[in-house]
Amino acid sequence: MIRINNAYSYSPQEIAKINANPPHEGGDWNESIFDSIKKNIKEHLLLEQNRICPYCGLKLPKWGMYPHIEHVVHKKVHYRFMFEPKNLIVTCQTCNINKGEKETLINPITITYPSTGNDFLIIQPYFDDYFQHIELICDILLRALTSKGSKTIEYCRLNSLPLAEERMEQLKISMETTYKKMTLQLIKENDLLIKQQILDFLNTK
């Protein structure tokens, strides 16, 4: 998991292009006029993030369409922050889709972009230490340590079976031990009561 230290810095030409086409309600991030800017943002963030998704912690594919530019505060819900550098991260396709347009600001009517993590409902990779809010159990299951961690897990469905299986594949996790098998089964069943019982058990190991 990562904390992003350096946001993207727009060139004078990019600033001029954004100012000439300012974000507005219903404005389209996907307009072709922004293609070169988005390409530069993605290249910067992939390097800055070491190709790690800040939500699930999995390695982003090197090629293809899978790494998405994600707006921590959604661009449709809060279009005024569409080009705010510290609102932009690169995530895996799964986390980006799962999070969708969910509200991430504690104060949704704020005019200026927040400067601390205290103003966000979920982990903000520019401001927050991931492991102060979430811990990894058996290298597979994510457990919330705070309400912010819980909301991040909920929004991005970080304990979903596809992400658990991808985590196991990337980390080459062996399923030889009983408690790891139990953990995977727990995720498959998605039974919240059993989940808490298993977490309590795992915490003794």
Return all residues near 158 (Cβ < 8 A) that are at least 6 apart: 55, 56, 95, 134, 142, 152
Q: Give the integer Cα–Cα distance in Å for 67 and 24.
A: 25
User: pLDDT for 34-63, tens place per residue?
Assistant: 999 999 999 999 999 999 999 999 888 765
Return all residues near 76 (Cβ < 8 A) that are at least 6 apart: 101
Let me know: does 53 contact 60? Beta carbons within 8 Å.
yes
User: pLDDT for 152-173, tens place per residue?
Assistant: 999 999 988 788 778 877 776 6
Please give the pLDDT value at position 165. 77
Domain range annotation of the chain = 1-127, 129-205
Helix (H) or strand (E) holding 139: none
Backbone angles phi, psi at 200, to 5 degrees: -60, -40
Report the amino acid identity of residue 136. Answer: L
| Better-scored residue on pLDDT, 189 or 114 | 114
Residue 147, both tokens: 């309400």
Q: Kindly state the average pLDDT of the residues 173-190.
A: 60
Q: Give the integer Cα–Cα distance in Å for 72 and 90.
A: 10
User: pLDDT for 55-88, tens place per residue?
Assistant: 999 888 765 447 889 999 998 889 999 999 999 9
Backbone angles phi, psi at 59, to 5 degrees: -70, 135
